[in-house]
Copies of this chain bind each other. A is one copy, B any other.
């Protein structure tokens, strides 16, 4: 066996290796399909938004200068010359002392520069109003181009689109959006002892867990899983599935097998391709040690550990950045998860020269989070389901002590009522309530208090 050579690779160096993988081609998708996809071309504004001075209140449009000095005790009298119908063109032009009724979103008359809110207006009759408060130029209006101006860069390529970004595209009329293709991630499970989840394992065998956890993790990373098959520990069979996967998908992941032999089969199967490179073979990360990152041509081939927890740690740390690269995203880091600051409930030892991901369970105690390590080997899938997240112990740290403050990275952005309550409101002195204005009858309201 080759004596391994240890070299601590900085995260930046890992990302430089990942940049060797080729970003996928781009395609045009419908606006409503663009959410969570990665933009492949810059989007510039081709017109102003709004395209006209727009009222942001229900009220009366005025020339602000005409309201100068108006107060409740000394209101200014205005002549109402009409009402601006929503969504219709109009050619109102106000003379001194004239006003038009306007609704939120309405287009101001060309020479009006402000809107007086309804509550500062006393309607005398259908032809005249009293303005009870002076307005300054541009009060209660969104000016032409205030949201964005024609020519302005709105969205950078490499950006994963959020709901607000989809809104910007809608505002620009971009109903076809250029995005990078969603990576198709081929999944292979290997191991003589593994049987499909729908079978009863014979003695000495276990069901395939990784196929399903990895497939879920691929979806969580916004990519598309493609099941390629389960292979025994045989070079011929691993080679066949790998070749199949390289033809059908943008990236191939092989998990397990846990035996020494099968690990070599994965390496040998990769090396049987002429344009291939083993980029990482083994990481000093626990759990996760036997991780493999390789390429065949420009496509990534990943060997994940057989232990389910190790496979998931490697997925978060190394595979998510690779998927982000394939999709052309500007960031090549693990996705940000909710984090909570907690106090360790007992010592955790760690080997120097190794990054440890310690699963912990959290519970509130005296206004703090207390993190208790979940005991359980990396083969125990329940230890992960029972934990809320993990604590990362860096390379140069020999362990942490009871009472140490740590950041716990949560596994998901949901975790159950009591937990979320504490997360959302726990650190605020006064969470308060929402102010709710009821439209219901007073009787009804009182019955609810």
Contacts and interface: CB of A to CB of B under 8 A. Distances in A.
B193 A86 contact: yes
B86 A259 contact: yes
Contact of A385 (B168, B267, B333): B168
A85 B317 CA distance: 33
A202 B163 contact: no
B147 A382 contact: yes
Contacts of A207: 170-171, 173
A413 B336 CA distance: 5
Interface residues on A, range: 35 or more
Contact of A197 (B175, B258, B284, B306): B175
A302 B176 CA distance: 29
Nearest to A193: B87
A362 B49 CA distance: 25
A265 interface: no
Interface in A191-209: 191-195, 197-209
A417 B204 contact: no
A150 to B, nearest CB: 13
Given A51-B201, A52-B204, A407-B427, A233 B86 contact: yes
A212 interface: yes
A106 to B, nearest CB: 7
Interface stretch (A9-17, A125-133, A237-245): A9-17
Contacts of A306: 104-105
A32 interface: yes
Contact of A421 (B4, B142, B333, B354): B333
Contacts of A247: none
A381 B10 contact: no
A376 B433 CA distance: 25
A239 to B, nearest CB: 18
Interface string A280-310: 1111110000000000000000000010110
Contact of A103 (B13, B211, B215, B259): B259
Contact of A414 (B147, B160, B412): B160
A330 B10 contact: no
Nearest to A305: B104
Contacts of A215: 32, 35, 166
A49 B376 CA distance: 13
Contacts of A160: 412, 414
Contact of A212 (B31, B54, B216, B312): B31
A159 B388 CA distance: 13
Nearest to A208: B170
A112 B412 CA distance: 40
Contacts of A376: 146-147
Contacts of A165: 385
Interface in A373-420: 376-385, 392, 394-397, 407, 410-417, 419-420
A25 interface: no
A348 interface: no
A64 to B, nearest CB: 18
A391 to B, nearest CB: 11
A412 B436 CA distance: 27
Nearest to A449: B7
Interface string A35-63: 11000000000000111101010100000
18 contacts: A4-B439, A10-B433, A11-B431, A32-B212, A87-B204, A146-B380, A164-B309, A166-B212, A170-B209, A170-B212, A171-B207, A175-B198, A281-B437, A282-B437, A283-B436, A284-B434, A335-B414, A355-B434
Given A146-B377, A147-B379, 10 more contacts: A5-B445, A87-B232, A90-B204, A142-B377, A155-B385, A167-B212, A282-B437, A284-B435, A331-B417, A336-B423
